[in-house]
Amino acid sequence: MIAVKLWGRFLRSTGLRATDVLAIVAFAFATAAALLVGGGILAFWNRTLADPSDYVSNNTAVLSLVAGALLLPAIWTLSQSAVRLAITRRDARLAALRLVGATRGQVAGMTVLDTLLQTVSGVVLGIGLYYALVPAVSLLPFGGAAFAGQELLLPIGYVGLVVAAVLSIALVSAISSLVAVSLSPLGVAQRTKGAKPNLIRIALLVVVAGVWIAVTQFAGLVPANFMTEQGWMIFMLVMMTMMGVAIAVIGPLVVWFIAFLFAAGARSAQTLIAARTILDDPRSSFNTVGPLALGVMAGGLASLASMFNGVEDGDQMLTDLTIGAMLTVAIAGVLGAVFAGVSQSARILDRGDAFRSQHLMGMETGVLVSSTMRGAVIPVATLIGTSVAGTLLLMLPFMGFLAGNATPVLVWLGIVVAAVALIMLATWISTLLLPRVTRVA
Amino acid sequence: MNDFQTSAQPQPAAAHPAYGNPSPAQQNAGPVQNPLVADTADIQHMPRVTPSALQARGLELYYGKGGASTHALRGVDFAVGQHGPEAVAVMGPSGSGKSSLLHVLAGILTPNNGSVMWRDEDIAMMKDGARTRLRRSDFGFVFQSGQLLPELSAAENVMIPMLLAKTPRAQAQRRAQGMLHALGLGGMFDKRPGQLSGGQAQRVAIARALVTGPGLVFADEPTGALDQATGASVLQLLTHQTLSRGASLVVVTHDPAVARACTRTVRLEDGIIVSDARHDQQPVGAAR
Ligand SMILES: Nc1ncnc2c1ncn2[C@@H]1O[C@H](COP(=O)(O)OP(=O)(O)OP(=O)(O)O)[C@@H](O)[C@H]1O
Ligand SMILES: [Mg+2]
């Protein structure tokens, strides 16, 4: 229990650090997104279970799973970055404790307590955020009728489940990183390099496709005539799965390649530093925009699909599809923005000493700001730009139809623009830390 | 833009004896032995800048306000480079104000009182942005460690100050490589700081400090993180390369061997200069 006392004293003396706040914010958004997506999926499935013969709600329910699968990587990435923030940036104080004679066990105990405190704070905030958002989301008309607020609210038991999941992810990561990291008096050297390839993401998409096929099989819904809504949906799902796999696999490579070109052609220090920073960790850049890029394509295709409106029974489903896709893009955008803000802030705090030296040697803080902004613009512009351009290209043959009903496409474009703006805003907010780290005395 | 004259404020030619033709004043300063001068003189990309003098008077510096403030500098008068390039060691106990003095001289901190005259301007009176640009264009810096950006290669780190000064990239690259070459890092252009040894990293830092042809180089414990032999060779390079380019060097150090390698030693105690002596420059490592 010495660990608890030490920790309490430490907390009082250091107060809330910037990294604590970042970790809590990340945990909060990850939790809120997980609850919202979980609530949405549950609501669709409840509707389906209420009337199993209604194939419209059947398909909507399946699509809600797809949306969930699209968002899960973003939620996962965000909570992982929160855990990393909660653990890594305490090197100095942990090392100091070891130096004054705290045992390994006490230091480990403090780390776990610290992580737990941040996770719990984040989760509590996230639950609050979720309850605050539900009324807004329930305004969206699905299945012809807006959800009643209760429909979207997860039963308390499920909320507990999500909370338990987030907490255990945090704790397991904290403990395993403590095992991996040697807590020597000279410092907690945390390596964050060598992230795994996107196998998890690929596996997830394969599983989703499998589940969808299984569900439709068992429900006896295999289409007799391919160009029905069923056929259209199979087409969509296959397309999306393929795009998902493609993006997950080649996304970081594309980001790497683009950054390489920028580094090779850079004529200013800003661009050179931005490109080299991306090259150093292309996966982090990809994580900011990857899920959004996927969502953008899915949303675009969905808005394209809605031009088939007019088919009697399909109307409702296509409308649902469009709204759901827009919602997915919006959530992916918010998660991407939070991730961008959190990861850029962490990087600035991490690189504080190097940035300060650069400033002492005569680099204006403004140069560091614009290099951080460029570091965000390069992957966003290339990946989101490509997704939008690619999707618009797919729409080209249908432009005639679209002219009559361009609203869904315009809404889609509007949401994409808003999401990109949000990511840039979050990045800009993180640059407010720069004058703080470069300050001399 | 002239390849060799990178000083922000071109000076009258007469005041600027080109490198290789030491002024009479410099010759009087002491028997400066620069055995490598002959080979480095013909390295094509080497910027040449003439000596410039910096003169500080009545420097006072406080950290913090009110009762809890620290009086770090208590009326310091200090001049460097009046009589041609020189290497000044600043020594003194921990907390005596060495780093504070260096920061004030270099326009990093503004003194509460006093003036720092450099090329007809008082640095202490300049605005923040102007001081930042001045540090970049007129001064070079070598710190104990951590001044290289870890994502950039050695050559790119050296290119940064030139890119900030809007030098075309190809030209910046050529000069950076030439400078690294002069510092014995010919094969290291593409290595990143993490792949370099401590001594190599410090040599890259020296290259970055000298590549813009500064008039004055400030170093704060440049060998503090190195073992003795490596430190000695890094210091040898730093003093020699700086002086032979016509610039002066102010180096904060705890190491008497470092001070011996300089041409002058200033002692600071409690924010006051207690001694200031010119002496012969001893080859680094000779004491061992
Ligand atoms: N940022 C700061 N805020 C408050 N006090 C400071 C700050 N920096 C230095 N001081 C104080 O000013 C005095 C001089 O510090 P300075 O860093 O110049 O000493 P130094 O001679 O370089 O010491 P060292 O050899 O340990 O590096 C010390 O009493 C120090 O505590
Ligand atoms: Mg010091």
Domain boundaries, chain B: 55-278
The response to whether residue B103 sits with its C-beta less than 6 Å from ligand 1 reads no
Residue A47 touches partner B, C-beta closer than 8 Å:
no
Name the pLDDT band for A15 (thresholds 50, 70, 90).
low
The response to whether residue A441 sits with its C-beta less than 6 Å from ligand 1 reads yes
Residues linked to residue B217 through DSSP beta bridges, in sequence order = B140, B249
Residues contacting B119, CB < 8 A, separation 6+: B9, B11, B52, B138, B215
Specify the range with the lowest mean pLDDT, choosing from A161-170, B17-26, B170-179, B232-241: B17-26
Give the model's pLDDT for residue B38.
38
The response to whether residue B93 sits with its C-beta less than 6 Å from ligand 1 reads no
Mean of pLDDT values over A243-268: 84
Residues contacting A79, CB < 8 A, separation 6+: A26, A27, A30, A166, A169, A170
- Point out the residue among B141, B152, B168 whose CB comes nearest to the CB of A361: B141
Q: Residue B277 in contact with residue B265, Cβ under 8 Å?
A: yes
Query: Hey, what amino acid is at B227?
Result: D
pLDDT tens per residue across span A34-47: 888 888 888 877 77
pLDDT tens per residue across span A273-307: 999 999 988 888 888 888 888 888 878 877 776 66
Give the model's pLDDT for residue B177.
95
Specify the range with the lowest mean pLDDT, choosing from A16-20, A87-91, A333-337, B107-111: A87-91
Structural Rg of chain B based on CA atoms: 18
pLDDT tens per residue across span A65-77: 777 777 777 787 7
- Point out the residue among A266, A280, A357 whose CB comes nearest to the CB of B147: A357
Give the model's pLDDT for residue B107.
94
Give the CATH superfamily of B55-278: P-loop containing nucleotide triphosphate hydrolases (3.40.50.300)
Name the pLDDT band for B278 (thresholds 50, 70, 90).
confident
Interface mutation vs chain B, best among A284, A360, A439, most B CBs within 10 Å: A360
* Averaged pLDDT score across all residues of chain B: 82
Give the model's pLDDT for residue A64.
75
pLDDT at A198 over 70: no
Chain B residue with minimal CA distance to A267?
B169
Residue A276 touches partner B, C-beta closer than 8 Å:
yes
Cα dihedral: A348, B155, B18, B238 (round 10): 70
Residue A370 touches partner B, C-beta closer than 8 Å:
no
Specify the range with the lowest mean pLDDT, choosing from A20-29, A78-87, A231-240: A231-240
Smallest-distance ligand from the CA of B97: 1
Name the pLDDT band for A59 (thresholds 50, 70, 90).
low
Residues linked to residue B139 through DSSP beta bridges, in sequence order = B216
Give A418 Cα–ligand 1 centroid separation in angstroms. 48
Give the helix ranges, DSSP H, for A100-143. 104-137
pLDDT tens per residue across span B118-167: 988 899 999 999 999 999 999 999 999 889 999 999 999 999 999 999 99
Cα distances from B276 to residues A118, B47, B80, in angstroms, run 55, 31, 11
Name the pLDDT band for B7 (thresholds 50, 70, 90).
very low
* Averaged pLDDT score across all residues of chain A: 76
Residue B264 touches partner A, C-beta closer than 8 Å:
no
pLDDT tens per residue across span A365-419: 999 999 999 999 999 988 898 889 888 887 777 766 666 677 778 888 899 999 9
- Point out the residue among A267, A354, A367 whose CB comes nearest to the CB of B150: A354
**How far apart (Å, rounded) are the C-alpha atoms in residues B186 and A357?**
25
**Ligand 1 pocket: which of B62, B96, B220 to mutate (most atoms <8 Å of CB)?**
B96
Which residue spans within chain B are E strands per DSSP?
Answer: 54-63, 70-80, 87-91, 113-118, 121-122, 139-142, 216-220, 248-252, 264-269, 272-278
Q: Which residues of B touch A260 (CB under 8 A)?
A: none
Residue B190 touches partner A, C-beta closer than 8 Å:
no
Residue A360 touches partner B, C-beta closer than 8 Å:
yes
For ligand 1, atom 22: residue with the closest CA: B99
Give the model's pLDDT for residue B82.
87
**How far apart (Å, rounded) are the C-alpha atoms in residues A332 and A289?**
9
Specify the range with the lowest mean pLDDT, choosing from A138-147, A168-177, B89-98, B256-265: A138-147
The ipTM estimated for the assembled molecules is: 0.81
Q: Which residues of B touch A358 (CB under 8 A)?
A: 147, 149, 160
For ligand 1, atom 16: residue with the closest CA: B97
A185-B150-A429 Cα angle (round to 5):
95
Q: Which residues of A touch B123 (CB under 8 A)?
A: none
Residue A18 touches partner B, C-beta closer than 8 Å:
no
- Point out the residue among A354, A367, A440 whose CB comes nearest to the CB of B103: A440
**The two structure tokens encoding residue A357:** 């030296």
Query: Hey, what amino acid is at A89?
Result: R
Strands B54-63 and A187-188: unpaired
Residues linked to residue B269 through DSSP beta bridges, in sequence order = B272
Give the model's pLDDT for residue A439.
86
Specify the range with the lowest mean pLDDT, choosing from A129-138, A214-223, B170-179: A214-223
Chain A residue with minimal CA distance to B135?
A362
The response to whether residue B72 sits with its C-beta less than 6 Å from ligand 1 reads yes
**How far apart (Å, rounded) are the C-alpha atoms in residues A57 and A60?**
5
Distance of residue A428 Cα from the nearest chain B Cα, in angstroms: 21
DSSP annotation of B20: T
pLDDT above 70 coverage of chain A, percent: 65
Distance of residue A273 Cα from the nearest chain B Cα, in angstroms: 7
**Exposure class string for B5-40: b at 16+ Cβ within 10 A, else e:** ebbeeeeeeeebbebeebbeebeebeebeeeeeeeb
Strand, coil or helix: B262: coil
Specify the range with the lowest mean pLDDT, choosing from A11-25, A29-43, A119-133, B127-141: A11-25
The answer to whether B108 contacts A440, with C-beta atoms less than 8 Å apart, is: yes
Mean of pLDDT values over A82-97: 65
Give B35 Cα–ligand 1 centroid separation in angstroms. 37
Q: Which contiguous run of DSSP H or E holds residue B99?
A: helix B98-105
Chain B residue with minimal CA distance to A350?
B150
Question: Helix B154-164 to helix B169-182 angle, to the nearest 10 degrees?
Answer: 130
Specify the range with the lowest mean pLDDT, choosing from A357-366, A393-402, B64-73, B212-221: A393-402
- A274 exposure class (CB count in 10 Å sphere: 0-12, 13-18, 19+): buried
pTM: 0.79
Strand, coil or helix: A296: helix
- Point out the residue among B109, B129, B163 whose CB comes nearest to the CB of A272: B163
The answer to whether A362 contacts B133, with C-beta atoms less than 8 Å apart, is: yes
The answer to whether A269 contacts B151, with C-beta atoms less than 8 Å apart, is: no
The answer to whether B147 contacts A358, with C-beta atoms less than 8 Å apart, is: yes
Mean of pLDDT values over A120-135: 89
pLDDT at B10 over 70: no
The response to whether residue B208 sits with its C-beta less than 6 Å from ligand 1 reads no
**How far apart (Å, rounded) are the C-alpha atoms in residues B97 and B99?**
6
A173 or A331, greater pLDDT: A331
Give counts: helices (H), strands (E), chain B.
9, 10
